[in-house]
Amino acid sequence: MDLKLRMRNLGSAGADRGFTLIELLVGLLVGLLVLAGVHRIFVAGVKTQNTTSLQTEVNRKAQVAIDNMVSKLRGSSEVLDASPGRIWFIDQDGKNCRFWVSEGTLYRYLGESAGNYSGGVPLASNVSQMQFEYLDQDGQPAASADAVYSVRVLLHVERSSHVAELRSAARLRNK
């Protein structure tokens, strides 16, 4: 009987020995494959978030800039410079207001001085195009700055491969 008891103990001791080296390696390989999949999903999520964030920033900057221009234009009384790429007008407070792009930055000047296009406050960067279309009371291209009744604005902002193109229009209220 003593021999049978020993055999039973040896049999149960063999079952409690643990995993073999092959089993550990297979388990490790499966774990690494799962981690690699999770890593790919994480990296893709981070890239998507960065892309979305950059596009949102470009859109926001363009929207703030064009809203500022249109707001000032709506209260203006007269346009002094009706150039396709810049504008100069008198706002509702009688101040000189100018918008122009220089080296990819959109500037706004608001003040008493009737000087040139310099010394303004930057409104947006990465501006690749800004264009104004000046219309008379009949909706036709204005013959002169005195005949401007409304203004159409195109603003094109680009950063990396992210682009925002906004269009807006304003009728001069005090005209």
How does pLDDT run across 1-16, given as a tens digit for each residue? 555 555 555 555 555 6
122 in any annotated domain: yes
Could you read off the pLDDT of 77-123 as tens digits, one per residue? Answer: 889 998 999 999 988 888 889 999 999 999 999 888 766 787 888 98
Measured CA to CA, the distance from residue 149 to residue 151 in angstroms comes to: 7
138 in any annotated domain: yes
3-state secondary structure string, 56-88?
HHHHHHHHHHHHHHHHHHHCCCEEEEEECCEEE
Domain containing 113 equals 47-171
31 in any annotated domain: no
pLDDT at position 10: 52
Contact call for residues 80 and 94 (beta carbons, < 8 A): no
What predicted TM-score, i.e. pTM, was given to this entire model?
0.71
pLDDT at position 28: 94
Contact call for residues 86 and 96 (beta carbons, < 8 A): no
119 in any annotated domain: yes
pLDDT above 90 for 43? yes
Number of Cβ within 10 Å of residue 135's Cβ equals 17
8 in any annotated domain: no
4 in any annotated domain: no
88 in any annotated domain: yes
25 in any annotated domain: no
Contact call for residues 57 and 158 (beta carbons, < 8 A): no
Q: How many domains does the chain have?
A: 1
Name the token pair of 71.
């707001």
